[in-house]
Amino acid sequence: MSSSETLAPRALGILERLVAFDTTSHLSNLALIEWVEAYLADHGVASRRVPSPDGLKSNLMATIGPAAEGGVVLSGHTDVVPVEGQPWDTDPFKLTEKADGRIYGRGTCDMKGFLALALAAVPDLAARPLGKPVHLAFSYDEEVGCLGAPDMIRAIAAELPRPAMVVVGEPSNMEAVCGHKGIATFRVTVRGHEAHSSQTQLGISAVMEAVRLMASLSALAERLERQADPASPFTPKHATLTIGQVHGGTAVNILARECVFLFDLRCPPGMDPEAVLADFFAEASAADAAMKARFPQAGVEIARRSNTPAFAPETDGAAEALARRLAGDNGPRRVVGYAAEAGQFQQAGFSTVICGPGSIDQAHQPNEYVERSQMERGAAFMARLVDWASADG
Ligand SMILES: [Zn+2]
């Protein structure tokens, strides 16, 4: 038997190391990756990088146990959201446990806590013959649109004997979560033609054109709300569309040369964001043509920034069944409002579940913390996973 009593303190020691690496998404994560590589090598586990195109960041994959089909992938992201402008009471990159049983630090719950638990299981996994492989899959750039994982998921699908399932350790209070919405984000750039604001016949205001387009998105958002599927398990039930940022114009009396706005569309599983936006795209392209007819440099350009697929509850999902067994979770089926890499793994054909320590309520917040009791539940999960993967398990 592997013991969660030894696994929990080991995980906290690892968490302290992981939190100390500032892996805010815009920075390199390579120092953390090197540390993990060395840790794995110390336990005789080989690992392989799947680097970012610019080489400044990397995913990391490793397999413990037999090169055989089946087994499980433990997946988590190494990046964290920024601390800038947040009022922290402690050093966000120094793990700090307080008397209330809360362990503070950036990434403690989202989601270095899970990475630490997975790594803490490695000595126990490496010390005994395994009947099924346990794969580690650590990504970069999750927090900026799940950008790093797709290359690694392709590598897992192409290079490994097919794993049976994937556990994504996003914070879920160590309960099994079996669905999330997808997120597609877009940047719309409207270029006008500057002129004195009294001479509207001599120019095009990019802001005025952008307002028209934003009004149709606003109408679309209302339509999506009215079209909500009453059976949807999500809160809110419908697809949501919001414009999060607008920048445009230089002065009140100048027809604006440029206006840029960003919007995100979050669709429940089964809804295609491109189809939802088809009419809007057609409208934007008509506006683009009309503007170019007056001024060739004017127009509307739409760029997709990210597209994270939705994660749909599975019928008889193997991953959900395993996570429930290891977590001792007999509760109702749950879905969450945030998006993660679970949809990407599922899209690649893997049975997937989300299960990790901590609450999403603490994620991205100042004074982010994970409760010690959550890390202990996570350690018990990993100890049972070691037994499950063992040849005699
Ligand atoms: Zn996360």
CA of 141 to the centre of ligand 1 (A): 10
Pairwise CA distance, residues 73 & 350, whole Å: 10
CA of 171 to the centre of ligand 1 (A): 7
Pairwise CA distance, residues 393 & 373, whole Å: 26
Q: Is the model's pLDDT at 3 over the cut of 80?
A: no
**pLDDT number for residue 4:** 79
Pairwise CA distance, residues 155 & 51, whole Å: 11
pLDDT tens sequence across 160-173: 999 999 999 999 99
Q: Is the model's pLDDT at 86 over the cut of 70?
A: yes
CA of 173 to the centre of ligand 1 (A): 13
At the top level of CATH, the class of 4-179+311-389 is alpha beta
Provide the residue ranges of all domains of the chain, joining segments of one domain with +: 4-179+311-389, 182-308
CB-based contact 359:161 (threshold 8 Å):
no
pLDDT tens sequence across 298-336: 999 999 998 999 999 999 999 999 999 999 999 999 999
CB-based contact 35:89 (threshold 8 Å):
no
CA of 282 to the centre of ligand 1 (A): 35
CA of 101 to the centre of ligand 1 (A): 22
Residue 168 φ/ψ, nearest 5 degrees: -95, 120
Dihedral of alpha carbons 358, 362, 364, 366, sign:
negative
Neighbours of 99 (CB within 10 A): 5
**pLDDT number for residue 191:** 98
- Helix 113-120 to helix 372-389 angle (10° resolution) is 40
Which entry of 16, 37, 79, 194 is annotated as an active-site residue?
79
Q: Is 288 a catalytic residue?
A: no
Query: How close are the terminal C-alpha atoms of the chain, in Å?
Result: 10
**pLDDT number for residue 84:** 93
Pairwise CA distance, residues 221 & 287, whole Å: 20
CA of 177 to the centre of ligand 1 (A): 14
**pLDDT number for residue 5:** 87
Average confidence (pLDDT) over 67-84? 96
Pairwise CA distance, residues 311 & 164, whole Å: 17
CA of 343 to the centre of ligand 1 (A): 13
CA of 275 to the centre of ligand 1 (A): 28
CA of 77 to the centre of ligand 1 (A): 7
Peptide bond between residue 9 and the one before it cis (omega within 30 degrees of 0): no
Pairwise CA distance, residues 163 & 24, whole Å: 30
Pairwise CA distance, residues 131 & 392, whole Å: 7
Pairwise CA distance, residues 369 & 262, whole Å: 31
Helices and strands (H, E) in the chain, number of each type: 11, 13
Residue percentage of the chain with pLDDT more than 70: 99
Buried/exposed code over 205-215 (b: 16+ C-beta within 10 A; e: otherwise): bbbbbbeebbe
Buried/exposed code over 31-40 (b: 16+ C-beta within 10 A; e: otherwise): ebbebbbebb
Q: Average pLDDT, whole number, for the chain?
A: 96
Identify which of 264, 59, 54, 20 has the alpha carbon closest to the alpha carbon of residue 141.
59
Average confidence (pLDDT) over 76-89? 96
CB-based contact 280:220 (threshold 8 Å):
yes
Average confidence (pLDDT) over 121-147? 95
pLDDT tens sequence across 180-190: 999 999 999 99
pLDDT tens sequence across 100-113: 999 999 999 999 99
Confidence band, pLDDT 50/70/90 cuts, at residue 2: low
The CATH number of the structural domain formed by 182-308 is 3.30.70.360
Q: Is the model's pLDDT at 1 over the cut of 70?
A: no
Pairwise CA distance, residues 362 & 367, whole Å: 8
| Residues having C-beta closer than 5 Å to ion ligand 1 | 110-111, 170
Pairwise CA distance, residues 176 & 197, whole Å: 57
CA of 204 to the centre of ligand 1 (A): 42
CA of 318 to the centre of ligand 1 (A): 22
**pLDDT number for residue 7:** 96
Identify which of 242, 243, 240, 244 has the alpha carbon closest to the alpha carbon of residue 224.
240
Are 4-179+311-389 and 182-308 the same fold in CATH? no
pLDDT tens sequence across 226-236: 999 999 999 99
* Radius of gyration from C-alpha coordinates of the chain: 24
Nearby residues of 36 by Cβ (< 8 Å), 6 or more positions away: 47, 60, 115, 119, 138
Average confidence (pLDDT) over 212-230? 97
Q: Is 142 a catalytic residue?
A: yes
- Helix 113-120 to helix 4-20 angle (10° resolution) is 130
Which entry of 16, 37, 141, 142 is annotated as an active-site residue?
142
CA of 285 to the centre of ligand 1 (A): 36
CA of 231 to the centre of ligand 1 (A): 27
Q: Is the model's pLDDT at 38 over the cut of 90?
A: yes
Confidence band, pLDDT 50/70/90 cuts, at residue 57: very high
**pLDDT number for residue 393:** 61
